[in-house]
Amino acid sequence: PLLHNANVQVTPDTRLGLLGMNGAGKSTLIKALVGELGVLTGKYRVSDTLKLGYFNQHQMDILDAKATPIEMLRRLAGKTSDAMLRSFLGSFDFRGERIDTPSELFSGGERARLTLALIVWQRPNVLVLDEPTNHLDLQMRQALTIALQGFKGAVVLVSHDRELIANVCDELYLVHDGIIEEFDGDIGDYGKWLAEKRKQENASDKNTGKKKSKKESKKFVSRETDSSQVNNKTSDNSSKSKAATPALSKEEQRKLAAEQRKMTAPIRREIEETEKTLAKIDKQLVTLEEKLADTELYEESRKSDLLVLLNEQTALQQQHSDNEEKLLLSMTTLEEMEAKFA
């Protein structure tokens, strides 16, 4: 069992964003929600009026490679006129010759858009989306955001795109440590929570790596106790001292500010370097997306080249996520350091 005591209800006006670290069980929960994965215990109920639209990355792989967008849409649309079908596909940026091009020649972004188009055409009343923006460029991400905002139905969303979640979802649930529960806060608070969890994990890893004998452990506890007592006394004396100390002069304030700048300089440099790294990764991802837009790359003879680029994209996306968390952690540390000088 990956999740225990999960209690989730999707109603016609649900706008739910699922948060959690990689591997926490978000996609597993999604599969249970859409009925793709059976629950081990408990009850799973579905309304008779449910019309489900489900998107995940694997669905892009089962598109008919030899069929064109209009051919695939025609299978769903029946006797609908070509003009209406072409107009609809145009809203997903399939125009001109791309409408009559076999999907095997499409880029990852085009395949994602086509998959979404086929889902939307069926007019679901519940949309369940697992990482829908991974292959979409910035323009299409914005278009998807606007479309989801105007969608008259329920939305359940898993995405690393925090801006998409912030603009579409009005309730957040956190999947963590085998449970799912409502998250008390917004997407910014989740960033802080994530940074704190990473900080705790790093500290735990360091503690686990320290192997000490029982004798050394006892000495460490003894020293820690003494230190704690000293710190408490120091804190009490400091409180009394602060109460009795008059306001600082301008010269003392300048010295304190200089000390603060000196103390926080390393963490500020770290934040600056991380921001530069993120900007560099962003540029690399844009360049990579431009390469992946080359339709010739999806021909049979170029499969090895495509695989190399997709692996590079996955690695860069992971680096981006890691550096975002590092930046949040550094900013939190800086805030705590500055608070001590307040």
Q: For residues 300 and 306, what is the distance between their CA atoms, to the nearest angstrom?
A: 10
pTM: 0.60
Kindly report the number of other CB atoms within 10 A of residue 185's CB atom. Answer: 13
**Whether pLDDT at 225 is above 60:** no
pLDDT value of residue 234: 44
Q: For residues 204 and 130, what is the distance between their CA atoms, to the nearest angstrom?
A: 31
pLDDT tens profile 85-141: 999 998 888 888 889 999 888 888 888 889 988 998 999 999 999 988 877 777 778
DSSP states along 236-286: HHHHHHHHHSPPPPHHHHHHHHHHHHHHHHHHHHHHHHHHHHHHHHHHHHH
Residue bearing tokens 């996609």:
27
Assess contact for 102 and 67: CB atoms under 8 A: yes
Q: Helix, strand or coil for residue 56?
A: coil
Assess contact for 20 and 26: CB atoms under 8 A: yes
Of the pLDDT bands very low, low, confident and very high (cuts 50, 70, 90), residue 240 is very low
Q: For residues 60 and 54, what is the distance between their CA atoms, to the nearest angstrom?
A: 12
Assess contact for 104 and 136: CB atoms under 8 A: no
Q: For residues 216 and 220, what is the distance between their CA atoms, to the nearest angstrom?
A: 6
Please report, to the nearest 10 degrees, the dihedral formed by the alpha carbons of residues 168, 171, 175, 176 taken in order: 120
Of the pLDDT bands very low, low, confident and very high (cuts 50, 70, 90), residue 222 is very low
Q: What is the average pLDDT score of the chain?
A: 80
Residues 6+ away with beta carbon under 8 Å from 297: 107, 291, 305, 306, 309
Q: Helix, strand or coil for residue 221?
A: helix
The two structure tokens encoding residue 220? 């460490």
CATH 3.40.50.300 correct for 15-186: yes
Residue bearing tokens 């910035």:
138
**Whether pLDDT at 267 is above 90:** no
Q: Is the dihedral of CA 60, 62, 68, 71 positive or negative?
A: negative
